[in-house]
Amino acid sequence: MSDYRNDVEELEAKSATAARLFDIRRIIGGLFVVYGIIVTIAGITASDADLKKAQDININLWTGLGMLALGLFFLIWLKLRPTAPPTTPTEQ
């Protein structure tokens, strides 16, 4: 009927994103594991001044562990449910 729809369909067929784009879960997982380790270490070695500033909560330790857990969650999710192969659009 209209050209623009055909254009978009043609481009969709040639598009490489679905096949070639990496999975963001790998990046989120990796970054949060690294951040988690750094911040957890800062929490283990926290000075008294650090603890006092954060109202006697070892906030570095808890945040670090939380970030580590989130990072691992994304990596495990990726492991259990790898990127699905792109569904081939039905040509009409």
Partner 1 sequence: MRYLAEGLRLPTNGLDYTILAIYFVVVLGIGFAARASVKTSLDFFLSGRSLPAWVTGLAFVAANLGATEILGMAANGAQYGVYTVHWYWIGAIPAMVFLGLVMMPFYYGSKVRSVPEFLLHRFGPSSHLLSSVIFAVSSVLIAGVNLYAMAIVLEALLGWPEWVAIVVAGFFVLAYITIGGLSSAIYNEVLQFFVILAALIPLTIVGLKRVGGWSGLTDSLTGSHGGAFLSAWEGTGVGSPNPLGANWLTIVLGLGFVMSFGYWTTNFAEVQRALSAKNLSAAKRTPLIAAFPKIFIPMVVIVPGLIALVMEPTLGKAGSGLQYNDAIPVLMRDLLPNGVLGIAVTGLLAAFMAGMAANVSSFNTVFTNDIWGAYLRKDREDAYYLKTGRVVTAVGVLIGMGTAFIASSFSNIMNYLQTLFSFFNVPLFVVFIIGMFWKRTTPAAGFWGLLSGTVAAMVNYFWLYKGGIVDIPSDQGANFVSSIVAFVVGALVMVVVSYVTRPKPAEKLAGLVYGTRSPDMDELPAEGDDAWYRRPALLGWGAIILAAICYVPFSF
Under a CB-based contact definition with an 8 Å cutoff, are residues 78 and 36 in contact? Answer: no
Could you tell me which residues come within 8 angstroms of residue 73 by beta carbon, excluding any fewer than 6 positions away?
A: 29
Query: CA-to-CA distance for 60 and 51, rounded, in angstroms?
Result: 9
Give the nearer residue to partner 1 in terms of CB position, either 80 or 90: 90
Under a CB-based contact definition with an 8 Å cutoff, are residues 70 and 39 in contact? Answer: no
**What is residue 86's DSSP assignment?**
P
Q: Which of residues 21-80 bind partner 1 (CB under 8 A)?
A: 21-22, 24, 27-28, 31-32, 34-35, 38-39, 42-43, 46, 49-51, 53-57, 59-60, 62-64, 66-67, 70
Q: Which residues are near partner 1 by CB under 8 A?
A: 1-2, 4-5, 8-9, 11-12, 14-22, 24, 27-28, 31-32, 34-35, 38-39, 42-43, 46, 49-51, 53-57, 59-60, 62-64, 66-67, 70, 84, 86-87, 90, 92
